[in-house]
Amino acid sequence: MCPPEHFTVEYAINPWMDTEVAVDADLALKQWDTLRNTLVDLGHLVHVLDARPGLPDMVYSANGAFSVDGTVYGARFKYPQRADEAAAHRAFYESPWRYHAPIQVNEGEGDFAYLPGAYGGIVLAGYGFRTDPAAHAEAQEVLGRPVISLKLVDPAFYHLDTALAALDDRHVTYYPGAFSPASQRVLAQLFPDALLADREDAEAFGLNLVSDGRHVILNTEAAGMGRKVRDAGYLPIHVNLSELKRGGGSVKCAVAELRA
């Protein structure tokens, strides 16, 4: 995780960003700290990456890389405003991880999800707005895991992690309307028992969640999604990240999962 010490909305690179509405910096930091403490209280170890001036979106640390079994596929951001974030994440991952610098444009865990218990271990990968489809083949070579490409078609859900989430090692939840008809068919075939979300859930960033297989941490706004995951047998824990949503992210965007 990376604290929002320099978080502002200075530019608009997704539909959620409004440069005319000021961010409450103190509240953003307080909300972020609540999320970090929630993870720690659940028994998770949280590494903190130092925030850097001039990089207001570093708080969305999930975008900096994607790790599987100790191997890290680094990020190469689409927009120049975020390009320098990649070096900061690389410095963290290079030791003791096996870091691979990317050639193709990709935004890390924002567009990649790993399910180790599904089909022997597969990667779901989004494209359409940020990550180049060629990055999916590159990631497959680096990580040695099958990569399933999924096309995102709604600009409101510009990263995979705004439209789909792993609930545990084998099960996912997703909003069908964020994907192309062909990708919807792929998901239905791979995950016939998936927990389906609706647009209201997705717009509340209810799919931008972090799950340890039992506890599902999600945005306070996503009350409906919380009820759905509870009905599915998980324990929802709501955290208010209203300020981070101003930049187009929530719980998952703020957490890069380390898979050693």
For residues 61-69, average pLDDT: 98
- Band of residue 225 on the pLDDT scale cut at 50, 70, 90: very high
For residues 7-21, average pLDDT: 94
How far apart CA 111 and CA 207 sit, in angstroms, is 13
Q: Which two tokens stand for residue 83?
A: 């390009």
For residues 108-133, average pLDDT: 98
H or E, element range at 68: strand 65-68
pLDDT for 96 equals: 82
Alpha-carbon Rg for the chain in angstroms = 17
How far apart CA 70 and CA 74 sit, in angstroms, is 12
Number of neighbours of residue 19 by Cβ within 10 angstroms = 11
- Band of residue 118 on the pLDDT scale cut at 50, 70, 90: very high
pLDDT for 39 equals: 98
Q: Is the pLDDT of residue 79 over 90?
A: yes
Residues 6 or more apart from 205 whose CB is under 8 A from it?
162, 218, 219, 221, 222, 241, 245, 249, 250, 251
CB hemisphere CA count around 252 (13 angstroms): 28
Q: Is the pLDDT of residue 159 over 90?
A: yes
Q: Is the pLDDT of residue 233 over 90?
A: yes
- Band of residue 260 on the pLDDT scale cut at 50, 70, 90: confident
pLDDT for 176 equals: 98
Catalytic-role residue among 2, 136, 238, 253 = 253
- Band of residue 103 on the pLDDT scale cut at 50, 70, 90: very high
Q: In the block, which residue shows the tokens 């509240």?
A: 27
Q: Which two tokens stand for residue 39?
A: 């993870």
DSSP 220: T
Q: Which two tokens stand for residue 130?
A: 């940020």
Is the alpha carbon torsion for 137, 141, 142, 145 positive or negative?
A: positive
**Contact status, residue 65 vs residue 88, Cβ threshold 8 Å:** no
Alpha helices in the chain (DSSP H): 25-41, 85-93, 134-143, 181-190, 199-203, 223-231, 242-245
The bridge status of strand 164-166 relative to strand 147-151 is: unpaired
For residues 241-257, average pLDDT: 96
**Contact status, residue 172 vs residue 195, Cβ threshold 8 Å:** yes
How far apart CA 66 and CA 64 sit, in angstroms, is 7
Q: pLDDT (tens digit, 9 = 90+) per residue, 41-51? A: 999 999 999 99
How far apart CA 29 and CA 139 sit, in angstroms, is 33
- Band of residue 123 on the pLDDT scale cut at 50, 70, 90: very high
For residues 176-183, average pLDDT: 98
pLDDT for 114 equals: 98
How far apart CA 27 and CA 38 sit, in angstroms, is 16
**Contact status, residue 71 vs residue 142, Cβ threshold 8 Å:** yes
Q: Is the pLDDT of residue 99 over 90?
A: yes
For residues 106-122, average pLDDT: 98
Catalytic-role residue among 136, 159, 171, 238 = 159
Q: Does residue 253 carry a catalytic annotation?
A: yes
Alpha helices in 76-222 (DSSP H): 85-93, 134-143, 181-190, 199-203
pLDDT for 95 equals: 82
Is the preceding omega at residue 80 within 30 degrees of 0, hence cis? no
Q: Does residue 2 carry a catalytic annotation?
A: no
- How confident is the prediction for the chain on average, in pLDDT? 97
pLDDT for 136 equals: 98
